[in-house]
């Protein structure tokens, strides 16, 4: 994992890759998806609530995203930051007919997001392996 962070009481892990010159049909995507299986699994076991993949790629192939979703087994939400997000310094998502800056809840699975709205974790956080 390249980055471990806490935001509003939620733990996130991130992996950063360059990938700006990798075509969407390249086998590299499959290799990277396999490589990310272990950090995603570790993040799940350690109690992280989100995993972020960040790269200078314009977009992420659907097969790549499907493989990471299978790796997460719905226990942790995998989110993606692309070249535009990184160069602009922010990520926007579409809600209705407007674009809004991404929030922490957008990076959490629906299950975790529902829990966080009803009860925030307080106090010392312990990462368990």
Which residues form the domain of 33? 3-118
Residue 69 and residue 79: Cα distance in Å, rounded? Answer: 10
Neighbours of 90 (CB within 10 A): 10
Domain assignment present for 110 = yes
Q: So what's the pLDDT on residue 113?
A: 47
The total of structural domains in the chain comes to: 1
What is the rounded CA–CA span in Å between residue 29 and residue 11? 26
CA–CA separation, 43 and 7 (whole Å):
15
Task: List average pLDDT for each run of 10 residues in the chain, which is 129 residues long.
Answer: 83 90 90 93 90 92 93 87 84 78 69 50 60
Indicate whether 123 belongs to any domain: no
pLDDT, residue 107, reads 72
In a domain, 128, yes or no: no
Tally of CA atoms within 13 A in the half-sphere of 30 that contains its CB: 3
pLDDT at residue number 60: 93
What pLDDT was estimated at residue 87?
A: 85
In this prediction, residue 122 carries a pLDDT of 58
Q: Is residue 14 domain-resident?
A: yes
pLDDT at position 43, please? Answer: 92
71 Cβ contact partners less than 8 Å away, ≥ 6 residues apart = 33, 36, 37, 40, 41, 78
Q: Is residue 111 part of a domain?
A: yes
pLDDT digits (tens, 9 = 90+) for 71-93: 888 788 899 988 988 888 777 77
- Residues in the chain, how many? 129
Task: Return the pLDDT at 118.
Answer: 47
> Does the residue 41 lie in any domain?
yes
Q: How far apart are CA 37 and CA 22, in angstroms?
A: 20
The model scores a pTM over 0.85: no
């Amino acid at each position: 994992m390249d980055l471990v962070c806490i935001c509003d009481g939620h733990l996130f892990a991130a992996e950063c890759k360059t990938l700006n010159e990798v075509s969407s049909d390249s086998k590299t995507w499959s290799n990277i998806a396999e490589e990310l299986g272990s950090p995603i699994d570790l993040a799940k076991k350690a109690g992280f609530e989100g995993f972020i993949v960040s790269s200078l790629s314009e977009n992420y192939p659907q097969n790549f995203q499907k493989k990471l979703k299978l790796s997460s087994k719905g226990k942790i939400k995998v989110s993606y930051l692309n070249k535009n997000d990184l160069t602009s310094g922010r990520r926007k998502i579409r809600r209705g007919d407007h674009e809004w800056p991404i929030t922490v809840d957008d990076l959490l699975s629906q299950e975790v997001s529902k829990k966080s709205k009803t009860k925030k974790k307080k106090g010392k956080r312990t990462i368990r392996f």
